[in-house]
A and B are shown apart, each in its own frame.
Chain A
Amino acid sequence: MKHLHRISIAIVLLVLTGCSTPPTKKIMAGADQVELRSYQSRGFDTADKTMMLRTVIATLQDLGFIVDQADEELGVVTGTKLAGYQVRMTVSVRAQGDRQLLVRSSAYFNLTPIEDAVPYQDFFTSLEKALFLTAHEAG
């Protein structure tokens, strides 16, 4: 019984502290950058940035997002999906050498940054369907 009591206190403490860090610490902090970046990025064998940005926008619409803003020069698109929850995502497209583009996406689910690999894999699967191009893991 005493043991159970301790466990419950520990869990309550976890609930209270587990999800929250002091807000100021979060301003310049993020997850393990290298691993996260590899989940979030894919290289594509095309140099057509405008085509890629248009395809990203089309994919976002397919997934139920509304585009909040898009900048062709910078190669960025930000969108929001509302479906009982909120997902906000920024997708950036940058040249990688002369013949490749690096697409990176980063997303929030409600107020939590998505740091799992699976949602990003799902996004790139949807993007690839729209592109008819074979993507390969970014190095």
Chain B
Amino acid sequence: MRLIVTAALAALLAGCVGIAPDAFKLPPSSLADRQMQSRVFATTDDTLLLASSVSVLQDLGYVLDATNSRLGMLTASKEISAKNAKQIIGLVLLAALTGESASADEKQKIRICLVVNRLPNDAAASVARITIQRIVSTDVGMVSAVTQITEPALYQTFFEKLAKAAFLEANAT
């Protein structure tokens, strides 16, 4: 009985409360994150940077979800397969052993947000910052993971392509 009460209480607490305490707090890595996600370009032409970003994103197969050139931002997304070879093999084995099928991660949606701003201490340059998110869902449409992508190499690649598209050099902030 005591167990039932405890279980019920736990369910009550888990069901209603539980806003992650750090959801609106700047993480200690905030400055390093910003540097990793930003590049300085020697132009004050926001439209050039935004338009060049659009062309890079189109090259990469993204679709624009929102743009606001006066605020210097755009958001784009694309869906790609999230099939993980090991996971599939594991599920096939599991199905063979138990006769039950389980779901595998099927697809992932990648979202990129790019924001262009003026640098306060350099009148001739702009800073572009991107943030990338990944939403993984299973073959039955259940969302199985939502995260921010933090691999520096992906950010680096994007900025290299952007620099080429805008005929500009990308410098670290």
Q: Are B2 and A4 in contact (CB under 8 A)?
A: yes
A126 on interface, CB distance cutoff 8 Å? yes
- Alpha-carbon distance A15/B12, docked complex (angstroms): 5
A38-74 residues at the B interface, CB under 8 angstroms: 50, 53-54, 57-58, 61-72
- Alpha-carbon distance A87/B5, docked complex (angstroms): 31
Interface size on B, residues (CB 8 A): 44
Q: Max chain B CB contacts within 10 Å: which of A4, A15, A50?
A: A15
Q: Is the interface of B mostly helix, strand, loop or mixed?
A: mixed
CB contact between A54 and one of B4, B12, B72 (< 8 Å): that residue: B72
- Alpha-carbon distance A8/B73, docked complex (angstroms): 52
B160 on interface, CB distance cutoff 8 Å? no
Closest chain B residue to A11 by CB distance? B8
Residues on the B chain within 8 Å of A86, using CB: 146
- Alpha-carbon distance A53/B117, docked complex (angstroms): 12
Q: Are B66 and A15 in contact (CB under 8 A)?
A: no
Stretch with Cβ within 8 A of A (4 or more), from B16-24, B55-63, B151-159, B163-171: B16-24
Stretch with Cβ within 8 A of A (4 or more), from B78-86, B88-96, B98-106, B128-136: B128-136
Residues on the A chain within 8 Å of B134, using CB: 82
Question: Min CB distance, B1 to chain A, in Å?
Answer: 5
Stretch with Cβ within 8 A of B (4 or more), from A24-32, A94-102, A108-116: A108-116
A interface bracket (residues with beta carbon within 8 Å of B): 35 or more
Residues on the A chain within 8 Å of B37, using CB: 61
B131-149 residues at the A interface, CB under 8 angstroms: 131, 133-135, 145-148
Question: Min CB distance, A3 to chain B, in Å?
Answer: 10
CB contact between A66 and one of B24, B70, B111 (< 8 Å): that residue: B111
- Alpha-carbon distance A54/B46, docked complex (angstroms): 13
* 16 sampled A-B residue pairs with Cβ under 8 A: A4-B2, A8-B1, A15-B11, A18-B16, A53-B71, A54-B71, A57-B71, A57-B115, A67-B66, A67-B115, A70-B68, A70-B73, A84-B20, A86-B146, A109-B23, A126-B26
Interface residues of B (CB under 8 A from A): 1-2, 4-5, 8-9, 11-12, 15-16, 18-20, 23-27, 30, 33-34, 37, 65-66, 68, 70-73, 75, 111-113, 115, 117, 129, 131, 133-135, 145-148
6 closest cross-chain pairs (CB), A and B? A82-B146, A122-B24, A66-B113, A11-B8, A123-B24, A69-B66
Interface residues of A (CB under 8 A from B): 1, 4-5, 7-8, 11-12, 14-15, 18-19, 50, 53-54, 57-58, 61-72, 77, 80-87, 107, 109, 112, 114, 116, 119-120, 122-123, 125-126, 129
